Amino acid sequence: MEKRVVFRSRWLPYALLAPQIVVTVVFFFWPAFQAAWFSFQLQDAFGLRSEFVGLANFVHLFRDEYYLNSFKVTAVFSVLVAATGISVALLLATMADRVLRGALAYKTLLIWPYAVAPAVAGVLWGFLFAPSVGIVTYALRQTGYEWNYVLNGDQAMVLVVLASTWKQISYNFLFFLAGLQSIPRSLIEAAAIDGAGPTRRFWTIVFPLLSPTTFFLLVVNIVYAFFETFGVIDATTQGGPGQATQILVYKVYHDGVKSADLGGSSAQSVVLMAIVIALTVAQFRFVERKVQY
Amino acid sequence: MNAKKLAAALAAAMLFSPAAQAQTEIQWWHSMTGALGDKVNEIANGFNASQKEYKVVPVYKGAYPESMTAAIAAFRAGNPPHILQVFEVGTATMMSAKGAIKPVYQMMKEAGQPFDTKNYLGPVAGYYTDSKGNMLSMPFNSSTPVFYINKDAFKKAGLDAEKAPKTWKEFGMAAGKLKASGQQCVYTTGWPSWVHIENFSAWHNLPIGTRENGIAGLNTEFKINSPEHVKHISMLAEFAKNGWFTYSGRRNEGEARFFSGECAMLTSSSAAQANIRRNAKFDFSVNFLPYHDDIKGAPQNSIIGGASLWVMSGKKPEEYKGVTRFFTYLSNTELQASWHQSTGYVPITVAAFDATKKSGFYEKNPGTDIANRQLMNKPATANSKGLRFGNFVQGREVIEEELEGAFAGKKQAKPALDDAVKRANEILRRFEAANKS
């Protein structure tokens, strides 16, 4: 028996798809191709002269140790953001799941930060930790700790990780909470009757059952750390001090928009595109196999 | 409600002002905010009221890098503004964009407007002229770094508040006493590369780069890793370690720390004066930048920063006539003197400087003439007349990054400056390759 819906008309399916395809082509494929094309060129800022230079932009990039360092910064940053974001959210979700009285209030409060735009989150945290007027800076100084993230690279990294994670925890929290609530009570009760304590119940029953959620969040968080944290960084450290928080996507913006080096910046975005494709393939091929649905 | 009223008012204004249609509109993109932004609007309104044919429309387009990027994008789309305010580090990029700009001297000549570069203050004009002495852009807001001290903090530390440190040696002794008196932040700076690399070089008559700091050609190289530069930066790194120097950031973040009283000494733009005067609740003085007395010829003269107005290409002759009229209006002595006195920027014409002097303004407002005197301390040399490096937006950023490494104690001054030279030279080579004609 034929279950699929069959279109009789030849053009109707294409017509229905057309808007989506047009949007994808105009806003995704066209810019991507243009970036790829620019990455083989050397141009002045105004586009008055451009010259085909083959792979020169890429050679230049990979000879630049500061660009290579940017990979390391990005890796450290995204691992920290994803790991902290996921584990803190999981902890909060498990706690919130147990709360009996006032559960709604807790949940609502925990979800709030998600409504804050990354740039605003950056401004907020940047202000709390500002070297001269920040309230946290003041508190730290009382304990004798010198906090100055505009000069200390590690402190700057802590700040951007904190601001980026804080915002993402709410999102992760929502998914974990939904995941926890979909775990049948009977399973946990059965384990409890068998004598398993709360910790053991969590690691042998709850955590494995949450693994699809965790995997999904891992992908989303890495993508978030790669691209959406741009606003946080632009509002706080702008990649500095030195290049301590210069993640790849910020460097693309910096070189292309601020420094008007279109060729170099396009080459970087091509590299970034390749990384994202590779990461996605790897995640779905290798990590997903270990996930129980 | 308010928005509706505004819309109605706008609609009414459009309906009832048919004269506006006949006027030639001139777009002016700028980056001035706050009191400076008001001043820009005031200038445009003054010009619009002075004649009927042209109407200058000032548009705030974001900070300097943003407005430049916006203008580049607009040029690529075929619709640039007539006048664009570009900060000094963008000068070389604009000069090389030969098809995108209309040189000011050429526009003036075509419009039959007499125009003599000599009327403009030497250190200012020198920055924006080509090798033949032709003015390519119109100087607008120019400043130079000066040295501010908090006199109250000096008194508290038992120092003579009337004697600001003249040399870095004296500076060190004062810093020690200030720290001992419980001053939490002794010294900070705005614009580290501009003050401690670019102006440090000019002030000590040392080259920033070869080929007259890049003014003589694109094939220039940075020279900022000389023993003198290394000595200066390692001194600052040492100060940072002693707690005598607090790093505040790459822009003017340090200014707020000075006028709040947190930091006792500051080196930053002379244009910060208006803001400091308004906010500081203590007595302060404006002074020459400190120098190293063991470097021969110091102090030389300092160099400017700020921005100039560029005219974009591809507009109608009638519109260029309007721009010419506007620039002439902009250079008039009265307007320039008032701009200088209210903002702390240096006057761009010699006449405006003389007029301000004659009016007794400098006696009444001590410190306001320091910038001019420092710029004209000695006749400029090849090392101190200015600088012109391709894509210096990126180059300066590289220098800032390396300075941060040195000040944080992560790198020694010598390797930091060596790396800065190496990286910044690569940027120059790329710029040269992209702009060879």
Q: Which residues of A touch B262 (CB under 8 A)?
A: 132
Q: Inter-chain contact A150–B249, Cβ cutoff 8 Å? A: yes
Q: How far is B152 from chain A (nearest CA, A)?
A: 20
Q: Which H helix or E strand runs over B188?
A: strand B185-189
What is the per-residue pLDDT for B1?
43
Cβ-Cβ pairs closer than 8 A, A with B, add up to 90
DSSP string over B6-53: HHHHHHHHHHT-THHHHSEEEEEEE---HHHHHHHHHHHHHHHHH-SS
CB < 8 Å to B253, chain A: 150
Distance between CA atoms of residues B126 and B388, nearest Å: 11
Please check whether residue B137 is in contact with residue B91, taking contact to mean a CB–CB distance below 8 angstroms. yes
Of the pLDDT bands very low, low, confident and very high (cuts 50, 70, 90), residue B147 is very high
Task: Report chain A residues whose CB lies below 8 A from the CB of B240.
Answer: 151
Determine phi and psi for B149, rounding to 5 degrees.
-130, 150
Q: What are phi and psi of B63, to 5 degrees?
A: -65, 170
Helices (H), A39-100: 56-63, 65-98
* Residue B20 pLDDT > 50: no
Q: Give the CATH H-level superfamily of domain A59-290.
A: MetI-like (1.10.3720.10)
Of the candidates B93, B240, B401, the beta carbon closest to that of A260 is on: B93
Written as six digits, the tokens of B67 are 């407005």
pLDDT of B18 > 50? The answer is no
Closest CA to A130 of B270, B262, B34: B262
Nearby residues of A72 by Cβ (< 8 Å), 6 or more positions away: none
Q: Which two tokens stand for residue A169?
A: 């925890």
- Contact list in A for residue B241 (CB cut-off 8 A) is none
Residue B110 tokens read as 């075509």
CA angle B259/B265/B271 to nearest 5° reads: 60
**pLDDT tops 80 at residue A200:** yes
Mean model confidence pLDDT for chain A: 89
From chain B, pick out residues whose CB is under 8 angstroms from the CB of A51: 434
Q: Rounded to whole angstroms, how far apart are CA atoms A253 and A192?
A: 54
Closest chain A residue to B423, measured at CA: A64
CATH 3.40.190.10 corresponds to the domain B2-143+304-364: yes
Q: Name the one residue in this structure whose structure tokens are 């709040």.
A: B260
Q: Whose CA is closest to A90, among A79, A80, A82, A78?
A: A82
Q: Considering only residues 222 to 251 of chain A, which have any Cβ-Cβ distance to chain B shorter than 8 Å?
A: 240-243
Six-digit token string for B286: 């404006």
Q: Is any Cβ of chain A less than 8 angstroms from the Cβ of B76?
A: yes
Coil vs helix vs strand at A224: helix
Nearest CB to B407: which of A46, A64, A151? A151
Compare CB distances from B65 to A46, A132, A258 and report the shortest one's residue: A258
Q: What DSSP character marks residue B345?
A: P
Return d(Cα B401, Cα B396) in angstroms, integer: 9
Chain B's closest residue to A155, CA to CA, is B408
Tell me if chain B has a CB within 8 Å of the CB of A258: yes
Lowest pLDDT segment from B29-43, B200-214, B310-324, B401-415: B29-43
A48/B65 CB distance under 8 A: no
CA B89 to chain centre: 9
* Residue partners of A137: CB distance under 8 A and separation at least 6: A129, A130, A131, A147
Cα(A133)–Cα(B118) distance, integer angstroms: 47
Which of B328 and B12 is assigned the larger pLDDT?
B328
Helix (H) or strand (E) holding A2: none
- Confidence tier at B278 by pLDDT (50, 70, 90): confident
- Provide the β-strand partners of residue B287: B147
Q: Which residues of A touch B100 (CB under 8 A)?
A: 46, 48
Interface test with B, best of A41, A48, A53 (most B CBs within 10 A): A48
Are B72 and A260 in contact (CB < 8 Å)? Answer: yes
The tokens for B72 are 């580049």
Angle between helices A30-38 and A262-282 (to 10 degrees): 120
More confident site: A250 or A292: A250
Residues in chain A: 293
Are the beta carbons of B404 and A48 separated by less than 8 Å?
no
Q: Is the peptide bond before A241 cis (omega within 30 degrees of 0)?
A: yes
Quick check: A264 and A244 in contact, CB under 8 A?
no
CA distance B33 to B39: 9
Q: Is A136 exposed, middle or buried (0-12, 13-18, 19+ CB in 10 A)?
A: middle
Q: For the segment A242-271, what is each residue's pLDDT rounded down to a tens digit?
A: 889 999 999 999 888 888 888 899 999 999
**In the predicted structure, residue B16 carries a pLDDT above the cut 80:** no
Domain boundaries, chain B: 2-143+304-364, 145-302+389-435
Closest-CA distance of chain A to residue B256, Å: 9
Residue whose C-alpha is closest to residue B306's, from B161, B142, B173, B421: B142
**C-alpha to C-alpha distance for B62 and B82, rounded to whole angstroms:** 17
User: Which residues on B lie below 8 Å from A131 (Cβ)?
Assistant: 246, 248
pLDDT 10s digits, B50-100: 999 999 999 999 888 889 989 998 998 899 999 999 998 899 989 988 889
Contacts of residue A201, defined as CB under 8 A and 6 or more positions apart, other chains included, come to A188, A191, A192
Mean pLDDT of B112-129: 86
Element (H, E) at B285: strand B284-287
Which region among A123-127, B6-10, B159-163 has the lowest average model confidence (pLDDT)? B6-10
Decide: B376 and B304 in contact? Cβ < 8 Å.
no
Asked if B245 is an interface residue toward chain A (Cβ–Cβ < 8 A), one would say no
Residue A82 near residue A221, CB atoms below 8 Å: yes
Q: Would you say B144 and B304 are in contact if contact means Cβ atoms under 8 Å apart?
A: yes
- Asked if the Cβ–Cβ distance from B433 to A42 is below 8 Å, we say yes
SS3 state of residue B82:
coil
Nearest to A47 among B76, B98, B407 (CB): B76
Smallest Cβ–Cβ distance between B247 and the set A148, A254, A263 belongs to: A148
Buried/exposed B104-124: b ≥16 CB within 10 Å, e otherwise: bbebbeebeeebeeeebbbbb
Q: Does B262 touch chain A (CB under 8 A)?
A: yes
Q: How far is CA A50 from the centre of its chain?
A: 35
User: Stretch A82-98: mean pLDDT, rounded?
Assistant: 92
Contact between A258 and B96 using a beta-carbon 8 Å cutoff:
no
Task: With beta carbons under 8 A apart, name residues in chain B contacting A60.
Answer: 426, 430
In contact, B204 and B292? CB cutoff 8 Å: yes
Kindly state the average pLDDT of the residues A212-220.
89
**B247 contacts in chain A (CB < 8 Å):** 148, 150-151
Q: Do B391 and A260 touch (CB under 8 A)?
A: yes
- Classify residue B145 by its DSSP letter: E
Whether the per-residue pLDDT at A293 is higher than 70: the answer is: no
Residue B260, classified by CB atoms within 10 Å of its CB into exposed (0-12), middle (13-18) or buried (19+), is: middle
φ/ψ of B55, rounded to 5, equals: -135, 115
Contacts of B257 in chain A (CB under 8 A): 132
B309 dihedral zone (left: phi>0; alpha: psi -120 to 50; beta): beta
A 84-123: CB under 8 A from B:
none
Q: What pLDDT score does A2 carry?
A: 55
User: Looking at CA atoms only, how far is residue A35 from chain B in angstroms?
Assistant: 16
Point out the residue among B93, B408, B423 whose CB comes nearest to the CB of A45.
Answer: B93
Query: How far is residue B430's CA from residue A107's CA, in Å, rounded to a whole number?
Result: 54
> Is A260 part of the contact surface with chain B (CB cutoff 8 Å)?
yes
Shortest alpha-carbon distance between residue B409 and chain A (Å): 9
Kindly state the percentage of chain A with pLDDT values over 90: 52
> ipTM of the predicted structure?
0.84
Tell me the per-residue pLDDT of A17-58, one tens digit each, with 9 for 90 and over.
Answer: 999 999 999 999 999 999 999 999 888 888 888 889 889 999
B66, B279, B404, best to mutate vs chain A, most A CBs in 10 Å: B404
CB-based contact A242 B248, cutoff 8 Å:
no
* Min Cα separation A115/chain B (Å): 26
Task: Average the pLDDT over A92-111 and give the result.
Answer: 84
Its CATH architecture, for the domain B145-302+389-435, is 3-Layer(aba) Sandwich (3.40)
Rounded average pLDDT over A122-136: 90
Calpha distance A201→B101 (Å, rounded)? 72
- Nearest C-alpha of chain B: how many angstroms from A61? 12
Question: Touching check for A44 and chain B: CB below 8 Å?
Answer: yes
- How would residue A65 be classed by pLDDT, with cut points 50, 70 and 90? confident
Smallest CA–CA separation between B397 and chain A, in Å? 9
Inter-chain CB proximity A153 and B248 less than 8 Å: no
pLDDT at B406: 96
What's the Rg (C-alpha) of chain B?
23
pLDDT in tens, B225-248: 999 999 999 999 999 999 999 999
Residues of A within 8 A of B405 (CB-CB) are 241-242
Instruction: Using the structure block, give the residue that is written with the tokens 């004659």.
Output: B358
Q: State how far the Cα of B158 lies from the Cα of B163, in Å rounded to an integer.
A: 12
Residues of B in contact with A242 (CB under 8 A): 401-402, 404-405, 408, 410
Cβ distance of A66 and B257 shorter than 8 Å: no
Q: What is the pLDDT of residues B376-421, one digit of tens each?
A: 999 989 999 889 999 898 899 999 999 999 999 999 999 999 999 9
Mind listing the pLDDT tens digit for each residue in A153-165?
999 999 999 999 9
Mean pLDDT in chain B? 90
